Chains A and B, each alone.
Chain A
Amino acid sequence: MAQPITVLNFSGHQFLRHRLVLSILSGKPVKIDKIRPDDKNPGLRDYEVSLLRLLERVTNGTVIEISVTGTAILLKPGVIAGGSVMHECPLSRSTGYFLEPIVMLAPFAKKPFNLTLRGITSDDRDLSADLIRTVTLPHLQLFGISEGLELRIKKRGSAPLGGGEVQFLCPIVKQVKTLNFVDPGKIKRIRGIAHAVRVSPQFSNRMIEAARSVLNRYIPDIYLYSDVYKGEDSGKSPGYALSLLAESTTGAIHSAETVSQPGVTPEDIALQASRALLSEIRRGGCVDHQHQVLVLLMMVLGSEDVGRCRMGEPTPRTIQFLRDAKQAFGTSFKIIPADQADPESSELLFSCYGTGYINTNRSLA
């Protein structure tokens, strides 16, 4: 009998990463067209090609076809192989761009992941290595992926020249746990990492001072680490950044980060970061808004039970993800306001019935 394979069809260059992830996890081929067709420089960007190459590297049997103009791709996913892989990231995007989809795939690989990425470790577009280490990985721990989950920042690299290196280690699981996270709790501590490379180490201390001036009023339990990398480990370009995270009594994490910009004092950077953190806290919910997609994906992949999570208002990425996830897995979420009583609340309760995704790649032999 003929085996008609359902192909996921998307268009546009946006949301490429989660679409590729959904395709690889669901095993359905994905076809993405209209990738910057009207642009001066049409087609895939170098970092997108690099991402495709990385995905091809960490999987076995993946077939990627890119059209002549580069405005359409077809990806027939293979199995997620894992193992130790080394990848050189282009300087147009930071390692976070590549790590995010890998974090989603890694628990379902055949062998535990040991991925080394080289390039820029923090910029203002994607999650920096610090945030991934301190925020993304704890979010993964909610789903029972914890033993041996680690991100090592070997070298830091700032834009534009990079030169950083991170190592991502992830164990494999048979199935992710069902999430039931509806109590956001109250913020009990704030942590932060201020790092400065190839600039005066005093910069990080200045940032810490400034951040404390805003945050000290709320809570005494604030530790902001000053993380200075020197010499070889500090990459090729000067830069500094402050990443903050607030943890609640129930383990909900909110985060914010600001990266150095030319002509802005470290104090202003710190103020921006701490205010962004306050906005994020005010947004509410049990998960950081940048990690909604990750949490929702893991909920979709959970066992065939109802998973619930309370979140702030969804981001555009989240909304698109919900639609794409429905196409790939057929799972739709029930989304209701978290408190029915309070009309002004923007927090939502996402609940879904997991697909019972089992890591088929895992080998017993």
Chain B
Amino acid sequence: MEQQQNRAHRPAQSGAKAEKKKGKGKEKQHGFNEKAFAPKSGRRAEKQGRRAAERDQTRLHVPLVDRTPDDEPPPVVVAIVGPPGVGKTTLVKSLVRRYTKQSLNQVQGPVTVVSGKKKRITFLECNNDLNSMIDVAKIADLVLLMIDGSYGFEMETFEFLNILQSHGFPKVIGVLTHLDLIKKASTLKDTKKILKKRFWTEIYQGAKLFYLSGVLNGRYPDTEILNLSRFIGVMKFRPLVFRNTHPYMLADRIEDLTPREQVRESKGKCDRTVTVYGYLRGTNMRMGSKVHIPGVGDLEVKNITKLGDPCPLPDADSEKRRKLSEKKKLLVHAPMSDVGGVIYDKDAVYINVPGNFTRGNDEVPQGEGERMVMDLQDVSATLEDAVARSQIKLFGSSSKALSVDPGPSRLHGSSDEESDGSDEEEEDSEDEGFGTESGWEGESGEDNSDVEDDEDEGEGEGEGGGTGNRGRSAPRTSHRAARGLSTAHDRNGKGKDVEYADSDSDLGELGEDGDGDEDGGLGGGRRVRLEGDEVDIESDDDEEGSDAEEAPRWKADLASKAHAALGSKRRKKNWMKLIYSSDLTPEQILRDGSTSPSGDNKMDEDEDDFFTIKSRGTAAAGDEELDMTKEKVDPKELKQWEDEELLDSIRGLFITGDSNATAGGDDGYEDLEGGADFEDLEATGDGENEEGEQDAEDPEAARAAALAAKKEALKRKFDEQYDDPEASKMDFYEEKKDEIARQLQLNKAEFADVDPEARALVEGYRPGAYVRIELQDVPAEMIENFDPTYPIVVGGLLPAEERFGYLQVRIKRHRWYAKTLKTNDPLIFSLGWRRFQSIPIYSLDDHSIRMRMLKYTPEHMHCYATFYGPVALPNTGFCAFNSLGGDVSGFRVSATGVVLDIDRSTKIVKKLKLTGVPYKIFKNTAFVKDMFNSALEIAKFEGANIRTVSGIRGQVKKALTKPDGAFRATFEDKVLMSDIIFLRAWYSIQPRKFYNPVTSLLLSDKGEWTGMRLTGQVRRDEGLKTPLTVNSTYKAVQRAPRRFNTLKVPKRLQAALPYASKPKLMKPQQRQTYMQKRAVVLEPEEKKAIALLQQVRALRKDQVARRREKQNERKEVHRKKVAKEEAKASEKEKEKRKEYMRAAGMKSKREADREEGRSSKRRKT
């Protein structure tokens, strides 16, 4: 059949229709119609403005420094949290698959993947143990909170959210799973809506919630995972305060380094040396600080080593690409899981690759290459050790070999030499026809011999120089000397005699003659070598000579003059080495090993070693070295200031300094600061000899430039002020951010050029580095009972946090926790990195006068708690638990709060009432007994306020001698014998010094940690009865009714009283009164009226009764109807419940089947 051919549509090119279309298109392109959004009224405009301003303000946060480096940040920790059976492992597998295209069979421990060009992610699955949840909450940057959609929220989810809240809230994404189990579309919609609403109230309105439908091939659908990964990818993280002040590490690998023999001997009970591996996060981790592993305890760090990144970010080759290349995507680092057939266990590495060459595998024939590599691996000692062990004898007959002082000075000495070596290497490459390969060989050889070199160099030409390399190094040295680098060499010489001083006295000696000697020796050596060269050798003899070498004659003269003026010439020293890695005393460092009076002194002492004066006490009594701030002023040094030239020389340091100095710009000024005065002397005193040429054009140009710069600055300032003074000003927020950025820039720049070891020494290991931390004295149980599903967090401690003290915290019982908390009941705190049990005392501030103890936490109110424990910085949040076990029903987070104060003592008081009774009463004085036991006690309370129950106030006066413990007291009124007198006192109490870290990681069954039990629990467990003291039992108080006797006034007194005050006692009336005895007779009308009223009332009564009867009948019918309906409804309800229970039962059964190992109890919300 032939298809019908229609003509193609041709849109109109002109005409009304075309116009219209064009117009329409254009209109759409306009997009923003200003008029449409213009405010119609002034008030509205104001409102809009205000709203805009408010929205602008919401953008602002307190500026926080982010200490994570930008260039190589540590992987982001994405924790996957949820109740068991919700699909956590499936999600990890799906995500790892998404990022790396690899399937993991078994996920254990953290899994690190590269997710982008500048981003890595560590996935961490959190099991259902509360301890793990706490630890994970402290380190997770992003939490994927998994919720079973078909079941709803569970208690663990809420508990976890509360833990998160108290330790700084990281980002949270909700993930709803098992949605495929809900069959009906409308139910699904409703469920989603309900769960979302609840989720939003828990986190914040609009929190991200993902829905994952069913499982395909053991993974979630790829598109859904892709979407989720995109959200993870763009997530931005705000630094959390606690993590921004503490270094920490999530260990992804753990190894036991303890010698096997030691373990065997102690039957596995000895403390272990353990290394943990992982990425550093937070701030810089420095040596010398302790770490805390939650669940284990505080541990000493033996050393930290930076390792190569096992999961490196893609480097420069893919820099140009926008996306991560496919090759890079394959990188995954999960030592505890089975990636690539390698599993790292606590004490072994299992490689699952058969048929390969392995070490110790003797069956496979080994070639020469293999053997060589294996030999290299077998080397047990480093080159340095080998050198140290090698023995050099000066003479064949020497009995002792030369020994090298293995002090810390060794280290820098060798590094010095190495740098020398590299210098030489550079020179090598540019001159002298050494072949590259021979050069390399020679260099390495020389490095080797260099160490020996500096030993025998001082001693002259020993036979150590017998190697061929010696010969090679000689011309190079001479070359250096010829280039005028002999100053550097001199410095080396200095460094050497510094290093080889074994003791102070030795040093003095060296300073004296060793210096000259060695210099001479060096010079001599040089002379020998320099025979071929034409350099003037004599000038090498003294130190200044080399400097003077190139300078004109006048300058040499001047230098010596300056030398004389300044005492001793300053040389550049390596201060860091001198201070941090030498044993010299500060004075020696400053004196620079040159001759000094004290050195002479010591020399003298050394000479007569027969009688050594034990202390120069008598001589030095007057000038004993005091700990003084002011230094003794040397009058000689001050004398020099009488010299006019010297006085003039520092003129440049003042703002009024002569124009020459200012015009000379910074360089002249810098020179001056350097304390190099003689150069200034030449500038001012000796005329412009040298700088003459420079000065000819330089000052002019410099002055012009300075002037221009000044003008420019002024102009800018004027412009700023004139144009808009506000515009140039930044607001507080901007300013702070700018400041932070500048400081970070400085941090980065300051140590950029320092070599890594020195850098680690100065600033520690930076976050993002993959390090190996060696820990000492780790409990054996940690290794024995290691379980990779429980995260190992290594948290760095600040110096303050190693201490213990009383912490005062503000605490509030969680409103979902069913019981109130009681003073002196142990509570488990999660504070800082630690989890520990301690005994708090609750208190409230009583009118700012005292801290008053509370027996129980108040309902819905904060109170204070004080407990003994490790110090945490004020403002750190915490949460508390009564029990961490999984078998507890109900909500487990019992309280949350924040640290307020740290001290070594507490001021909590509780009320104490002492009661007593009067046994003798005078007017306003009473003798009181039964309050105290002895006169001593009373003496302590003299002058104390007392009170009766009826409110009469009084004071304790003095103890009575007769009955022990009785005292005299005065009151403002007369007290009664029946009054109870009490004294209100305050008794100060201290919290018990109890600290019990939760060592859950040391247990074989990690969820079963039990701390101190409550007394009641102990009694229950032991089957003991609560002791009952008779005095503590409550009995009904039997109070006899109080009788008051009638007041009797004596007759005589009565008679004397005035009439008004006389008791008016009258006899009762005998006769009937008129009112009592009269008769009442009704009138006929009255009678009638009363009868009528009576009838009307009777009628009404009858009517009401009948009406009620009828109503009851009606009600009865209705009641019957309702009862019928109710019965029907209850039947229905019963059926429904039955249905539901059946479904739930099936589900739990399914679950139980799915995870047989994890038998954690599931608790319904």
Chain A residues near B (Cβ < 8 Å):
1, 3-5, 13-17, 26-28, 38-40, 60-61, 78-79, 96-97, 100, 110, 124-127, 178, 180, 184, 186-188, 214, 217-220, 249, 257-258, 272, 275-276, 278-279, 281-284, 290, 303-306, 308, 312-320, 322-323, 326, 329-339, 341-348, 351-353, 355-358, 360-365
Contacts and interface: CB of A to CB of B under 8 A. Distances in A.
A321 to B, nearest CB: 9
B615 A39 contact: yes
Contact of B746 (A187, A306, A358, A365): A306
Given A13-B627, A363-B901, A341 B670 contact: yes
Interface stretch (B506-514, B870-878, B1144-1152): B870-878
Nearest to A365: B900
| 9 shortest interchain CB distances as A-B pairs | A345-B674, A61-B904, A344-B676, A316-B586, A330-B288, A38-B615, A363-B901, A319-B586, A1-B297
Contact of A218 (B654, B676, B762, B905): B654
B586 A304 contact: no
A339 B670 contact: yes
Nearest to B288: A330
B621 interface: yes
Interface of B: 65, 67, 245, 283-284, 286-289, 297-298, 300, 570, 572, 575-576, 579-580, 585-587, 589-590, 614-615, 617-618, 621, 624-631, 633, 635, 637-638, 641, 647, 650-651, 653-657, 669-671, 673-677, 679, 743-744, 746-747, 750-751, 754, 758, 761-764, 779, 798-800, 802-805, 808, 810, 864, 871, 873-875, 898-905, 997, 999
Contact of A306 (B628, B654, B655, B750): B750
A42 to B, nearest CB: 10
A335 B627 contact: no
Contact of A355 (B579, B679, B799): B799
A124 B871 contact: no
A220 B654 CA distance: 11
B864 A365 contact: yes
A283 B675 contact: yes
B671 A278 contact: no
A2 B676 CA distance: 57
Contacts of B800: 27, 357-358, 360
A362 B673 contact: no
B673 A347 contact: yes
B900 A330 contact: no
A3 B799 contact: no
B798 A356 contact: yes
Contact of A127 (B630, B750, B751): B630
Contacts of A127: 629-630
Contact of A4 (B67, B300, B798): B300
A278 B647 contact: yes
Contact of A279 (B575, B638, B651, B744): B638
Nearest to B625: A14
A352 B751 CA distance: 9
A346 B571 CA distance: 8
Contacts of A279: 637-638, 641
Given A27-B800, A60-B905, A218-B656, A282 B650 contact: yes
Contact of B628 (A126, A214, A330): A126
Contacts of A317: 586, 629
A3 B298 contact: yes
B874 A363 contact: yes
A346 B762 contact: no
A49 to B, nearest CB: 13
Nearest to A93: B626
Contacts of A315: 586, 590, 631
Contacts, number: 258
Contact of B630 (A257, A319, A330, A352): A257
Nearest to B845: A365
A339 B668 CA distance: 12
A248 B871 CA distance: 43
A269 B572 CA distance: 35
A306 B747 contact: yes
Contact of B900 (A1, A188, A364): A364
A356 B631 CA distance: 32
25 contacts: A3-B802, A27-B800, A38-B617, A39-B624, A79-B805, A180-B746, A188-B654, A214-B647, A219-B655, A249-B655, A272-B633, A282-B650, A304-B284, A305-B747, A318-B586, A334-B754, A339-B670, A344-B679, A345-B671, A353-B747, A357-B800, A360-B874, A363-B874, A364-B874, A365-B901
Nearest to B626: A125
Nearest to B899: A364
B904 A79 contact: yes
Contacts of A352: 762
Given A282-B677, A358-B245, 8 more contacts: A3-B802, A126-B630, A219-B656, A272-B633, A278-B650, A281-B653, A305-B743, A364-B875
Given A317-B586, A347-B675, A79 B576 contact: no
Contact of A334 (B629, B656, B751): B751
B629 A333 contact: no
Given A17-B627, A283-B675, A334-B762, A319 B589 contact: yes
A322 B655 contact: no
Contacts of B750: 306, 308, 334, 351
A357 to B, nearest CB: 8
- Between B630, B808, B873, the greatest number of chain A beta carbons within 10 A of the residue's beta carbon is seen for B630
A178 B65 CA distance: 13
A290 B630 contact: yes
Contact of B570 (A218, A333, A346): A346
Contacts of B289: 330
A267 B763 CA distance: 50
A344 B798 contact: no
Contacts of B300: 4
A125 B629 CA distance: 6
Contacts of B746: 180, 305-306, 308
Nearest to B297: A1
Nearest to A188: B655
B355 to A, nearest CB: 47
B762 A353 contact: yes
A287 to B, nearest CB: 14
Nearest to A328: B799
Nearest to A364: B900
Contact of A26 (B626, B799, B875, B997): B799
Given A14-B625, A353-B762, A78 B245 contact: no
Contacts of B754: 334
Contacts of A60: 903-905
A338 B673 contact: yes
B874 A353 contact: no
B655 A186 contact: yes
B283 A304 contact: yes
Contacts of B67: 304
Contacts of B674: 284, 338-339, 342, 344-347
A99 to B, nearest CB: 10
Contacts of B628: 125-126
A353 B647 contact: no
B673 A187 contact: no
Contacts of A333: 576, 579, 762
- Between B288, B570, B641, B905, the greatest number of chain A beta carbons within 10 A of the residue's beta carbon is seen for B641
A70 to B, nearest CB: 15
Nearest to A356: B245
A97 to B, nearest CB: 8
A345 B675 contact: yes
Nearest to A190: B654
A182 to B, nearest CB: 11
Contacts of A27: 799-800, 802-803
B402 to A, nearest CB: 30
A278 B633 CA distance: 13
A184 B655 CA distance: 12
A126 B580 contact: no
A362 B806 CA distance: 14
